[in-house]
Amino acid sequence: MVSQNPFDLFRQECQTALANALNNALPEIKQPTITLNKTPNIEYGQLASSLCFELAKKLGQKPLALAQQLVGAVDKSGFGLIEKVAPAGAGYINFHVNFAKFSALTLESVKELGIEYGYVKTADPKKIIVEHTSVNPLHPIHIGQARNPMLGDAIARILQYRGHEVSRHYYIDDVGRQSSVVAYGYAKLGRPKPTEKADLFVGKIYTVTSCIVEINRLKKARELAIANNSFDDLAKANKEIDEWMSIAVELKEKFPVLFEALTVEINQDQDPEEEINSLNRAYESGEPKAKQLVREVSDLCLEGFKETMKRVGVTYDSWDWESDFVWSTQVNEVLAKLKATQFVHIEKGVLEFDAEKVVQLLGLKAKLGLSENNEVPPLTLGRADGTTLYTTRDIAYTLWKFKQAQKVINVIGMEQSLAQLQLKIALYAMDYSEYAQNLVHFAYNLVTLPGYKMSSRRGHYITFDEVLSEAVQRAYEEVSKLSPLLSEEEKCKIANFVGLGAVRYALVDVDPSKPVVFTWERVLNFETNSAPYVQYTHARACSILRKAAREPEKPAFALLTEKLERELILNLAGFPDTFIEATEYYKPNMIADYTNMLADKFNTFYNAYPVIKADSQELSDARIALTQAIKTVLHNALNLIGVVAPEKM
């Protein structure tokens, strides 16, 4: 017999047996919902029910007496996986699995299903769009932004293996002042060809241009403050100029040729700020020259992004330009639809969307998880000059996505929680309640580097590429220590997948609501809770199997009686449950935690008990089969988070 979810088979048997016992012993009561929980120690059984505590209140009896009565009414004869049912504690009912049969079921299922084991398919497959990464095309993806694609890709993977039709989208934020700043600087330089990785090249132009333009603007603000005898404005301008001048000194030292060239060109314009604003308006209105310029420099940056993502095995099915929604009628249609509701008014010359009014009138507090005293701020839909704001454009984009999918998951940082909430409320206001209910904001916390403060203004950021390269170099040094006899080619190959896997794992294995503290001591720890540790465990299992050099002929699974062996079998049988929970609750960190737990348990087992040289051929074959299953499940779990499971390390 083969099962995609062995532990669930045992759970179903226990539920059915207990339901039958209730019918036999207490036919007069309405059949309650039976829930079973895993026990804290396998010596107490594998599943337990607290049902008797609830029944005792209704029947006026003691829970333990009820448990004893129900246990006496359980008929195990029709169930192959239940070995024993016993009352426990003050009134629990504990179910003990028949380990001989359960071990055979689990290990044979893993062997038969192989790389598909654990990936339980949903009964309700959907078309799902996962939008992730979406870094603005202004500078390289830095380590602070890299958690997004690692989480987004992991979510897309687990949903796809669950049986959903998943499409990965990248939303290109090319509308707004920032894109116009980099395009302005790029044009001032004569639209040069990159002399290095394209996103790095664009990032330098953006940083230097921003600095020069900001100093120019602040000097004008200072002149105005002097003319108006405004001492407060003068003090503020002087303080900001001092800060930006210190940034300019740094940038001039780092990029002397670029800084000088841009300074000369930008200073030829009487009002660089207005030039940028004019370009921004022209681009949003779709003027051909502006379109060509901004798209050209954005494409250069995206070219660099694609190289970086290819390196870590992340791909996209669709690249969606924000500007396409502005140039089409879609954003205007959204504005018209919102204006037609009672929730939009003009405030100081701009359109305001009253999100709180929608929440109150439609009774959305509970649906949105808001407390009664939590008031949602209004959303500004457009500027006085007629240009729209990001969230307004995002509403149009969201409607477009829902024409292609039944569910949309936006992988966006926690700092965007309010904007994502306002977007969802706007959908309710426009009578798209089904869309709103199927729009998921997958929020995540920041990445911090102890002792390092990132600043895009100063060009202070560690690029994702730099982190990946350092991870590979550090992995190479570690592999060289552990396996000095490997060829140079093998060392480089192993270092590459170990280094890249280490970074991917480190950015996924922390609960998304918590920040990732990125340190090399944690990321490349070969001894616990890291990709290299789990990868090394997988390679160790492969090494054992190579040394065994045989397929188990007569595995006597009933001989796997050690507590560690039974815990491993339960862990293997429970992988499908972990996979389902990780998928349903969007928790890729659960998969990383699972791999670490399984690696820990297997390493403890391996150090305690012989596999190949076990006391008998039958026991050796059973332990080889167990090792094969560990290898398969580690591979399958690592695959869900995009980490390579190596044969050698």
> Tokens in use for 297?
């420099």
Same domain? 517 vs 628? yes
Count of domains for the chain: 4
Provide the residue count of the chain: 649
pLDDT above 70: residue 285:
yes
pLDDT at residue 457, as a whole number = 63
pLDDT at 306: 98
In the predicted model, what is the mean pLDDT of residues 260-283?
Answer: 95
As a whole number, mean pLDDT of residues 308-325 equals: 97
Instruction: Please check whether residues 198 and 276 belong to one and the same domain.
Output: yes
Tell me, what's the pLDDT at 131?
A: 98
Residue pair 144/447 in contact by the 8 Å Cβ criterion: yes
DSSP lists the bridge partners of residue 167 as: 129
Q: Would the pLDDT of 460 be above 90?
A: no
Alpha carbon 85 to its chain centroid, in Å, reads 41
The mean-pLDDT minimum among 299-303, 495-499, 549-553, 562-566 falls in 549-553
* 481 and 606 fall within a common domain: yes
pLDDT digits (tens, 9 = 90+) for 513-522: 999 999 998 8
Residue 64's alpha-carbon distances to 16, 98, 234, 440, in angstroms, are 21, 24, 79, 44
CA 439/CA 433 separation, integer angstroms: 10
Question: What is the rounded distance in angstroms from the CA atom of residue 77 to the CA atom of residue 96?
Answer: 14
Element (H, E) at 20: helix 6-25
Task: Answer yes or no: is 105 within a domain.
Answer: no
Angle subtended at Cα 454 by Cα 453 and Cα 458, rounded to the nearest 5 degrees: 115
Q: How confident is the model at residue 356 (pLDDT cuts 50, 70, 90)?
A: very high
The domain that holds 609 is classified in CATH as: 1.10.730.10
Average pLDDT, the chain: 95
Which amino acid belongs to residue 327?
A: W
Q: Could you say which DSSP state residue 528 is in?
A: S
If you ran DSSP here, which 8-state letter would residue 498 be given? H
Verify that 540 and 623 share a domain, yes or no. Answer: yes
Per-residue pLDDT at 612 exceeds 70: yes
For residue 343, is pLDDT > 70?
yes
Q: Which of 218-232, 566-580, 629-643 has the lowest mean pLDDT?
A: 218-232
pLDDT higher than 90, residue 644: yes
Instruction: Assess whether 152 and 198 both reside in one domain.
Output: no
Distance CA 423, CA 393 (A): 10
% the chain with pLDDT above 70: 99
CB neighbour list of residue 384: distance below 8 Å, 6 or more residues apart: 349, 350
Residue 220: CB atoms within 10 A of its CB come to: 14
Whether 118 maps to a domain, the answer reads no
On whether both 48 and 160 belong to a single domain, the answer is no
Question: What is the percent of the chain where pLDDT is above 90?
Answer: 89
Query: Around Cβ 431, how many Cβ atoms within 10 Å?
Result: 11
Whole-number Å distance between alpha carbons of 444 and 155: 13
Domain boundary among 78, 97, 116: 97
What average pLDDT score do residues 140-153 get? 96
> Do 482 and 617 belong to one domain?
yes
Last residue in a domain, options 417, 448, 479: 448
Please compute the mean of the pLDDT values over residues 53-82 and round it to a whole number: 94
Chain-centre distance for alpha carbon 595: 16
> Is pLDDT of 310 > 80?
yes
pLDDT of amino acid 456: 67
- Token readout for 611 is 């596999």
Instruction: Answer yes or no: do 491 and 608 share one domain.
Output: yes
* DSSP secondary structure letters along 118-172: T-PPPSS--EEEEE-----TTSPPBTTTTHHHHHHHHHHHHHHHTT-EEEEEEEE
Judge whether residue 348 has pLDDT over 80: yes
303 domain-assigned: yes
The answer to whether residue 108 scores a pLDDT higher than 90 is yes
Check whether 600 has a pLDDT greater than 70. Answer: yes
- pLDDT for 526 beyond 90: no
Question: What pLDDT score does 386 carry?
Answer: 73
Region of poorest pLDDT, from 21-30, 248-257, 379-388, 553-562:
379-388
Same domain, yes or no, for 90 and 156? no
Write the DSSP assignment of 336-387 as a string of letters. HHHHTSTTEEEETTEEEE-HHHHHHHHT-TTTTT--TT-PPPPEE-B-TTS-
Domain of 63, CATH number, reads: 3.30.1360.70
Quote the domain boundaries for residue 244.
177-312
* pLDDT of 237: 92
117 falls within a domain: no
Confidence of residue 528 (pLDDT cuts 50, 70, 90): confident
pTM for the structure as a whole: 0.93
Confidence of residue 384 (pLDDT cuts 50, 70, 90): confident
Q: What is the mean pLDDT of residues 109-116?
A: 97
